[in-house]
Amino acid sequence: MSAVHVQHLSKVYHSAHSTGWRRFLPSRAPAAREPFRALNDVSFTVQEGEFFGLLGPNGAGKTTLISLLAGLSRPTQGAASICGFDVATQYKEARRSLGVVPQELVYDPFFTVRETLRIQSGYFGIHRNDDWIDEILFNLGLSDKADANMRALSGGMKRRVLVAQALVHRPPVIILDEPTAGVDVDLRRTLWEFISRLNKEGHTILLTTHYLEEAEALCGRIAMLKGGRIVALDTTQSLLARVGGNDLEDAFVRIMHSDNALEMLA
Ligand SMILES: Nc1ncnc2c1ncn2[C@@H]1O[C@H](COP(=O)(O)OP(=O)(O)O)[C@@H](O)[C@H]1O
Ligand SMILES: [Mg+2]
């Protein structure tokens, strides 16, 4: 069974400028009201147990795609499923199969790390989860922060908690949206060791990152997004071989600067 299945997915945003307080502004640039197609007919399948990379420049549509998979936003067209559960019509089952580490730091400053993780467990109906919570804390180097308030943690520590939160319900599929953006070397190493281990234990990983060295080392297959469309999708080895260049960064730049990457790869 596929872990993540995406079929002809499109997402059109209607400008934020037409809602909220901005609508009271006397002048609006006409262009700001144009609907914007952030995802354009995206289809791919990630098999169970894969370590899959979703790469693309800022604004390519990676976070939009992840929001659709997490059921946080509705597709304009197309469908997606997690472990066979449709993200729209079987939201609860799909959401339970998925752990998402969001790109933005979101947290409640009034809870401790342990409380945060217990609340997240409760959200999935899991009680007495402390053995697993302790194991996650240990593996993310957070054991000594268990009783610290979230607001007292550094940015890197908060990010570790976001990773921990995504794992409390032992989801078979884990999606990480730029988990290492702006974090120190130590956390990156800790994180990759842990995520690689989870992958070896059978978890499916979908990763977005701008650190192409990391992607090259970790991902078995890679999809590249540009302007909301998939412009390359292959095993990491085959992408490197077909596009040429020294490494994945070279291949990435070549693909992004090509007018017809799919033709280049054909
Ligand atoms: N809520 C929104 N309303 C309008 N436009 C949005 C919204 N979210 C994202 N976008 C636009 O969609 C495009 C893709 O954004 P995003 O999915 O965040 O890209 P990425 O994660 O690859 O950097 C960007 O041009 C962004 O400005
Ligand atoms: Mg993003």
The rounded distance, in Å, linking the Cα atoms of 261 and 238 is: 14
Answer whether residue 32 shows pLDDT above 70.
no
The residue that leads in pLDDT, 127 or 262, is 127
Q: How far is the CA of 58 from the centre of ligand 1 (A)?
A: 9
Regarding the beta carbon of 16 and ligand 1, being less than 6 Å apart is answered yes
Q: Quote the ligand 1 centre to 64 CA distance (angstroms).
A: 6
pLDDT of 24 strictly over 80: no
Q: Atom 5 (ligand 1): residue with closest C-alpha?
A: 13
**pLDDT tens by residue, 201-228:** 999 999 999 999 999 999 999 999 999 9
- Which ligand is the nearest neighbour of the Cα of 42? 1
Residue nearest to atom 7 of ligand 1 (CA): 13
Ligand 1 binding pocket includes 63 (Cβ within 6 Å)? yes
Ligand located closest to 33 CA: 1
Please, are residues 101 and 42 in contact by the beta-carbon 8 Å criterion? no
Whether residue 28 is predicted with pLDDT greater than 70 in this model: the reply is no
pLDDT on residue 16: 57
Residue 264, pLDDT score: 67
**252 Cβ contact partners less than 8 Å away, ≥ 6 residues apart:** 55, 212, 224
CA angle at residue 69 from 197 to 34, to 5 degrees? 135
DSSP state of 103: S
Separation between Cα atoms, residue 152 and residue 125, nearest integer Å:
28
Question: CA–CA separation, 140 vs 57, rounded Å?
Answer: 28
Strand, coil or helix: what is 19?
coil
Q: What is the dihedral of CA 253, 258, 263, 266, to 10 degrees?
A: -10
What is the residue whose two structure tokens read 């037409």?
18
Low-confidence winner among 2-11, 17-26, 116-125 (lowest mean pLDDT): 17-26
Please tell me the predicted confidence (pLDDT) of residue 186.
86
C-alpha 12 to ligand 1 mean position (Å): 10
* pLDDT band (50, 70, 90) for residue 184: confident
Average pLDDT, the chain: 91
What distance in Å separates the CA atoms of residue 231 and residue 264, rounded to the nearest whole number? 10
Look at residue 97 and tell me whether its pLDDT is greater than 60.
yes
Cα 173 to averaged position of ligand 2 atoms, centre (Å): 19
| pLDDT of 21 | 56
pLDDT at 260: 75
Could you tell me where the beta strands, DSSP code E, fall in the chain? Answer: 2-13, 36-47, 51-55, 77-82, 85-86, 98-101, 173-177, 204-208, 221-226, 229-235
Determine the distance separating the centroid of ligand 2 and the alpha carbon of 56, expressed in angstroms. Answer: 9
Give pLDDT tens digits for 141-179.
Answer: 999 999 999 999 998 899 999 999 999 999 999 999 999
Instruction: Please give the single-letter amino acid code of residue 193.
Output: E
> Which residue ranges make up each domain of the chain?
2-97+171-265, 100-170
The pLDDT of residue 70 is 96
Q: Which whole-number Å values give the CA distances from 59 to 160, 219, 228, 258, in the listed order?
A: 25, 22, 8, 17
Pocket test for ligand 1, best of 9, 11, 36, 40 (most atoms within 8 A of CB): 36
CATH T-level fold of 2-97+171-265? Rossmann fold (3.40.50)
pLDDT digits (tens, 9 = 90+) for 66-85: 999 999 999 999 999 999 99
Q: Which of 11, 40, 63, 230 to mutate to test the pocket of ligand 1 (most atoms within 8 A of CB)?
A: 63
Instruction: State the DSSP string of 224-242.
Output: EEETTEEEEEEEHHHHHHH
Q: Are 215 and 209 contacting, i.e. CB atoms less than 8 angstroms apart?
A: yes
